Amino acid sequence: MKTLLMKKVYVIALLLTWVVFTISAQEQKRLALIIGNSNYDKGELKNPVNDADIIAKALDSIGFEVLLYKNLETRRAMLDAITEFGNKRPQYSAGFIFYAGHGIQVNNENYLIPTKELIKSEYDVVDYAVSLQRILRYLVSDDPNSLNILVLDACRDNPFELSWHRSLKGSGLAKVPPPAGSLIAFSTKFFNQISQMICNCFSQLSQ
């Protein structure tokens, strides 16, 4: 567990170094939305709130305005947090979103799950969880210099799917193409994706 945590902290440090290196050439404003959901009634998680605190502090230290939310209980609360980020995002040159908590896909669409919504079926996911599209729509920009990073550290061991159709169980989140100027990193390949992205970026910038 400690090894995993140290690896995560190391990769996040690399990511933040890359963010600063990429956008430090100009006096750019940076906005971050950090959500950590841990206290689920079903399937409580230990790490999301702690991870959210660590990342929020790190981003704040390098000049991000940070919107930090922990243990959002309802769909409405999560949508309000996302909307706050979305309304502010056009005023900033760089955006960073981190979500840690339960997530699931239904019919190839990804959903993030609030901590206190009652999820008994696939239909409940659609009605009471938050579609990833509600975040992605705020990452679309006509500005070629705009930069967005979305990290989804969603737990694959989903306690909500025990009685669901077998084909939906244990499949994790679906891959989605990022909007132009954006990067999406998923937890299952989190370390490799970020590390490779950073290496490629530094390689290109050094040429």
Residues 146-187: pLDDT tens digits? 888 898 888 766 666 655 554 455 456 778 888 888 888 876
Read off the pLDDT of residues 57-91 as tens digits, 9 standing for 90 and up.
Answer: 888 888 899 999 999 999 999 999 999 999 999 99
Model confidence at 114: pLDDT above 70: yes
Residue 22 within a domain: no
- What is the reported pLDDT for 26? 52
Please spell the DSSP secondary structure of 14-63, one letter per residue.
HHHHHHHHHHTTTT--EEEEEEE----SSS--SSHHHHHHHHHHHHHHTT
Q: Is residue 104 part of a domain?
A: yes
Q: Is the dihedral of CA 65, 175, 79, 9 positive or negative?
A: negative
Backbone CA torsion sign across 199, 65, 185, 58: positive
Tell me the pairing of strands 130-131 and 147-155. unpaired
Task: Answer yes or no: is 163 within a domain.
Answer: yes
With respect to residue 94, please indicate whether it lies within any of the assigned structural domains.
yes
Per-residue pLDDT at 1 exceeds 50: no
Write the burial class of residue 73 (CB in 10 Å: 0-12 exposed, 13-18 middle, 19+ buried).
middle
The reply to whether 186 falls in a domain is yes
28 phi/psi in degrees, rounded to 5: -100, 145
Domain count, the chain: 1
The answer to whether residue 206 is domain-embedded is no
Instruction: Evaluate whether 135 touches 34 at the Cβ level (below 8 Å).
Output: no
Any domain includes 12: no
Assess if residue 119 is contained within a domain. Answer: yes
Who has greater pLDDT, 126 or 205?
A: 126
CATH number of domain containing 166: 3.40.50.1460
The pair of three-digit structure tokens given for residue 124, joined into one six-digit string: 């409940």
Q: Which domain holds residue 67?
A: 29-194
pLDDT band at residue 134 under the 50/70/90 scheme: very high
Taking the C-alpha atoms of residue 139 and residue 148, their distance in angstroms, rounded to an integer, is 7
